Structure 1
């Protein structure tokens, strides 16, 4: 652990937001790799370059919180918030943005799959005048083939449906200027999809490529069910196209039905009444019933989100503060 500076020695230039849940094994390796990099940046940019690390404990049930407290006792630049329960990564990122003090803010995972060595390149781009510097994975070979295929499909679908374009293969690992953070803090929605909010904010952006490695310590807390939920949240929070598309589908079916009805009338006039047709009738009924149920499901997704927003519940609840991070809980 590095030696902490005296109070007031340096303003906070760089803040790291690190959401964690049941990551007691990963925290010390994180410090071992990240702290020398932060101190190297401080040496490079001068004593006016201050840094902090803000951990967001998202309802851990192991010794994660104890590790954060122990780290804070060794270095007060390491702070933390502990949630009353698990609120999810998007809520954890929101809490981090609410409470960090740096002029440049970088959300990153504790698993070190996004290499902290890229921080230097991000800061260089930031000092060139870019407000958002997002990390782009040069490859996704550390992910399984199904995950790579579904990720490609999702990014393309999201960018086709939404006006807020997300850079492909860019995660939450990015540098945000303070003015970008202040804009995102003003957004009131409870259904949070942070990549979409980062994209909505705009500002001058650029990319830094890096190679993502496999996780060495601990296990991922994301499974395909959570990833699917996150994907649905991303689409529904950024676009109303899934609602509008059913208007078009309904119009096309109505047009086809009108022409089919005219055909039936004409055939009846010319050839008389035909009793046969049970199979075609059942196909039509089942097809239209399926379309109606699917459209109701899409509508229900949006209505459910309206219900969540109407309740105006807080996005997260803080149970304990480590280092007394400033901000609104």
Structure 2
């Protein structure tokens, strides 16, 4: 019997091996001081790509970020935006960016410009070799020590202790085939952790070393508590090993309680509290996934938005940029 193999989609390219269309996607939360510079930098570094779209996703900013983006869209027809009804979080912003990108390929950038747009062509060139996603690996990361150590520990624990399939050292600086990224978004997982979701699809990936800058405007938006909550999303959202350890701990605790008397009772109570915590983490994710039909809700945009993503029954307010 002759084996049948699915054809690998080859990217359509323009001149000089460039993608036929490209979206530069920038999630924003209170980045009013950076928006103009981000736009200028993308324009300077990526305007050579045909059919370039610059897509801002405003994650419920309260500092005038959206006004700055609107002003840019009035002057530059390549600028599109999607504005959430409130702050839904970074992963939700990722989902909106991938869902509404019009380009065949999407390069994800930071509003703080720590991932220089000048490095994007290296990722794009690698993607055009036949990959679905190419991650930028920051070999010299210019972040505070707690961020660097925290991310390294988080990803190593995810891989080795919890058995989560992800690319070590990967970041949000990446180039993704838009059709594959939308597959990940359409899964509508209660924990939409993109780096761990792509392997579930069998996406072909590669990595490229990239430069990393210090944040130019103000301090980091990333608080220590977010690292812990983000880690919990990753560990409990993509691994059942904590449940396996829970069963093992309970099985070991029963004979200890019987044999050790009052000391055993104390140990048993500790195990019980841990068991309740683990079960509560999983139940919370099940309940959240059942009561939240969408990852985000859009209040305003200058592109058409699907009804299920809109805050309003008639769709979000669509502002056509003045020409």
Do the two structures share a fold, i.e. TM-score over 0.5? yes
In the alignment, is residue 69 of structure 1 matched against residue 77 of structure 2? Answer: no
2:269 is matched with 289
1:302 is matched with 282
1:315 corresponds to which of 254, 273, 295: 295
Which stretches in structure 2 are left out of the alignment for 5+ residues? 1-18, 310-323
> Deviations for 1:215-267, whole angstroms, at most 9, x for unmatched residues?
01133222011121111001111101111111111222335556x4xxxxxxx
Residue 133 of structure 1 and its aligned partner are, at CA, apart by 0.6
1:173 is matched with 173
2:245 is matched with 245
Contact 2:253 2:267 in 1 (8 A): no
CA RMSD of the aligned region, Å?
Answer: 2.1
Which stretches in structure 1 are left out of the alignment for 5+ residues? 1-10, 43-48, 261-279
> Deviations for 1:23-79, whole angstroms, at most 9, x for unmatched residues?
100111112222111113x2xxxxxx2111111111111110110001101111111
Contact 2:28 2:111 in 1 (8 A): yes
Higher relative contact order (CA closer than 8 Å, sequence separation 6+): 1
> Deviations for 1:93-118, whole angstroms, at most 9, x for unmatched residues?
11111111111112221101112112
**TM-score, with structure 2 as normaliser:** 0.84
Structure 1 segment 19-168 matched on structure 2, within 5 A: 19-40=27-48, 42=49, 49-140=50-141, 142-168=142-168
In the alignment, is residue 219 of structure 1 matched against residue 227 of structure 2? Answer: no
Residue 156 of structure 1 and its aligned partner are, at CA, apart by 0.9
Q: For residues 316 and 12 of structure 1, what CA distance do their matches in structure 2 show?
A: 29
Number of residues of Structure 1 aligned to a counterpart in Structure 2: 291
Larger deviation: 166-175 or 70-79? 166-175
Higher helix share: 1
Cα distance, 1:98–1:327 mapped onto 2, change above 3 Å? farther
Computing the radius of gyration over CA atoms, which structure comes out larger, 1 or 2? 1
Larger deviation: 249-258 or 106-115? 249-258
Cα distance, 1:36–1:18 mapped onto 2, change above 3 Å? same
Contact 1:54 1:96 in 2 (8 A): yes
Q: For residues 136 and 75 of structure 1, what CA distance do their matches in structure 2 show?
A: 31
1:17 corresponds to which of 14, 25, 29: 25
Residue 13 of structure 1 and its aligned partner are, at CA, apart by 1.1
Q: For residues 310 and 53 of structure 1, what CA distance do their matches in structure 2 show?
A: 33
Q: For residues 110 and 56 of structure 2, what CA distance do their matches in structure 1 show?
A: 10
Q: For residues 217 and 282 of structure 1, what CA distance do their matches in structure 2 show?
A: 58
2:168 counterpart SS class: coil
Q: For residues 202 and 35 of structure 1, what CA distance do their matches in structure 2 show?
A: 33
Cα distance, 1:179–1:99 mapped onto 2, change above 3 Å? closer
Residue 158 of structure 1 and its aligned partner are, at CA, apart by 0.6
